[in-house]
């Protein structure tokens, strides 16, 4: 079984996926949950309500208390960092912390879900985790179907 983190890196590197994830994030979706959902779909794990609730119970507090404040600070500093070298350096450090926090979340989601059995169909995760059925979601779904 491929680790969720490595799966996420490979998926994110596919054409159009990074932009699709940013659009979905801007529309209110949790990209870490979407990446976990993509991983579960690829593994053929059935999407059940209790599994969705378990994933969101892990992800929501971590997103709210750890990732979101880092992201907000990084974004808030964007303009000022353009003319302040020290702030640019600090902003880059925050960006690395944000990425590390996302990795920790993906590792926690993997620990939770890695024992869930593969079944005939793993469809439904992305549709249920996305806030809307957009063109960006279709890009992500298409990338997951590719080997």
Band of pLDDT at residue 133, cut at 50, 70 and 90: confident
pTM higher than the cut 0.85: yes
Q: Per mean pLDDT, which range of 21-30, 82-91, 137-146 is the poorest?
A: 137-146
Number of domains in the chain: 1
Contact 48, 123 (CB under 8 A): no
Query: Which residue, 5, 3, 1, is CA-closest to 101?
Result: 5
pLDDT, one tens digit per residue, over 84-121 is 999 999 999 999 999 999 999 999 999 999 999 988 67
pLDDT, one tens digit per residue, over 76-91 is 999 999 999 999 999 9
Contact 131, 29 (CB under 8 A): yes
> What's the domain range around 128?
4-145
pLDDT at 123 (0 to 100): 74
């Amino acid at each position: 079984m491929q680790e969720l983190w490595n799966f996420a890196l490979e998926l994110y590197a596919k054409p159009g996926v990074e932009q699709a994830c940013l659009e979905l994030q801007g529309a209110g979706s949790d990209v870490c949950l979407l990446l976990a959902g993509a991983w579960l779909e690829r593994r053929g794990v059935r999407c059940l309500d209790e599994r969705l609730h378990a994933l969101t119970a892990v992800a929501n507090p971590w997103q709210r208390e750890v990732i979101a404040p880092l992201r907000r600070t990084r974004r808030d500093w964007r303009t000022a960092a353009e003319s302040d070298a020290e702030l640019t350096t600090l902003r880059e450090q925050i960006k690395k912390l944000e990425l590390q926090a996302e990795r920790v979340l993906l590792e926690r989601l993997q620990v939770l879900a890695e024992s869930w059995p593969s079944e005939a169909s793993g469809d439904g995760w992305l549709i249920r985790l996305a806030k809307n059925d957009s063109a960006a979601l279709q890009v992500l779904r298409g990338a997951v179907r590719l080997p």
